[in-house]
């Protein structure tokens, strides 16, 4: 599965926004490939054209001072074009008072991440794409009522007030569970892709980046997947990882072995971990789990070097879908720590 390059975040954001708008019935022209075009998108409604500019930053809230500068530039663009109105779409949150003030001062429409989340509630895969793009968690975000200028302009006859943020929904979960329950293939790349899809489904609101299949700088080894713990409110397990294991980045390794993994796989994974680079934790996923010697190696690596490796198997992935997945990992961590010998 091909994953985005973080450098291309803005490009990916444009693609997702186009898909969100079109899925909700809007006529959208994506102008990204057109030279010298005034806006990123053009939305057409009842023959009227609306120019749309897209912006996204890493923090949960977009910097208001910079947002006002962007709005000011859009006002200049708008004066030179025959658009009914200009729309500013941001992949971040904005306070209602700031939204109303900027919309009034610059005569434009603002769409923020909450509006986009509302529009994705009927489209689970699209919502997961959007959440994966964000560097921050929206666990503590409440959806506002859809009475903003944007919804009143484009969706006045539709009800968007009843949706709630749900990151783990039944259909995709069942699809992945069916695959992992029946898994008996020798195809390593397909196993990697399946495990990554399950992780994305389980943790899309708490982990970001999703940087897959990267070789080290010297080309001597390959990391299956690296994720970054998102900013803002995340579950207790990921808080524990950040606070006490000093890790912002998590390494995932996938082993499609017919037998249990051994200490060799543990020591190989340990080489990928660097606590000073905020990357001291790995989660190793295998079909059958690990043997006794691997368990000793996991404990030795933690005791002697402070590096944490959590081993889970296909059956664990199934169980994680039936409860809070991060709580399940926390229980694994508890068991490891309370039984760690000298």
The string of DSSP letters for 274-310 reads BGGGTB-EEEEEESS-B-HHHHHHHHHHHHHH--EEE
Range of the domain at 95: 6-154
Where residue 137 sits, what CATH number does that domain have?
3.40.1350.10
Give the per-residue pLDDT at 3: 47
For 276, counting Cβ atoms within 10 Å of its Cβ (0-12 exposed, 13-18 middle, 19+ buried), the class is: exposed
Q: Which residues of the chain have pLDDT under 50?
A: 1-7, 33-35, 162-170, 217-220
Same domain, 34 and 110: yes
pTM: 0.77
Same domain, 43 and 94: yes
Same domain, 225 and 314: yes
Give the per-residue pLDDT at 216: 52
Give the per-residue pLDDT at 97: 92
Q: Is residue 221 part of a domain?
A: yes
Query: Using one digit for the tens of pLDDT, what is the confidence trace for 112-126?
Result: 999 999 999 889 889
Q: Is residue 204 part of a domain?
A: yes
Q: Tell me how many domains the chain contains.
A: 2
Distance CA(126)–CA(110), nearest Å, equals: 21
Give the per-residue pLDDT at 236: 93
């Amino acid at each position: 599965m091909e994953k985005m390059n973080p450098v291309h975040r803005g490009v990916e954001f444009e693609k997702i926004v186009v898909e969100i708008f079109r899925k909700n019935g809007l006529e959208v022209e994506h102008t990204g490939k057109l030279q010298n075009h005034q806006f990123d998108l053009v939305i057409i409604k009842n023959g009227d054209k609306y120019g749309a500019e897209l912006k996204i930053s890493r923090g949960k809230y977009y910097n208001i001072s910079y947002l006002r500068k962007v709005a000011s530039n859009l006002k200049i663009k708008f004066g030179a074009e025959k658009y009914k109105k200009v729309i500013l779409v941001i992949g971040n949150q904005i306070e209602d008072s700031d939204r109303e003030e900027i919309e009034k001062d610059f005569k434009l429409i603002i769409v923020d991440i909450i509006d986009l989340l509302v529009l994705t509630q009927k489209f689970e895969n699209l919502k997961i794409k959007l959440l994966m793009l964000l560097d921050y968690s929206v666990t503590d975000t409440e959806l506002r009522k859809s009475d903003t200028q944007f919804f009143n302009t484009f969706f006045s006859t539709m009800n968007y007030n009843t949706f709630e943020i749900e990151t783990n929904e039944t259909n995709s979960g069942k699809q992945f569970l069916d695959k992992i329950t029946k898994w008996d293939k020798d195809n390593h790349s397909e196993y990697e892709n399946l495990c990554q899809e399950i992780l994305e489904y389980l943790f899309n609101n708490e982990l970001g980046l999703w940087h897959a299949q990267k070789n080290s700088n010297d080309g001597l080894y390959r990391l299956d997947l690296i994720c970054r713990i998102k900013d803002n409110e995340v579950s207790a397990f990921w808080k524990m990882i950040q606070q006490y294991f000093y890790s912002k980045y998590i390494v995932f390794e996938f082993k499609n072995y017919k037998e249990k993994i051994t200490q060799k796989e543990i020591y190989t994974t340990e080489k990928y971990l660097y606590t000073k680079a905020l990357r001291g934790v790995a989660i190793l996923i295998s079909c059958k789990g690990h043997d006794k010697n691997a368990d000793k190696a996991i404990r030795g690596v933690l005791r002697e070097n402070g590096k944490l490796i959590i081993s889970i198997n296909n059956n664990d992935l199934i169980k994680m879908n039936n409860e809070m997945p991060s709580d399940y990992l926390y229980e694994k961590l508890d068991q490891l720590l309370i039984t760690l010998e000298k």
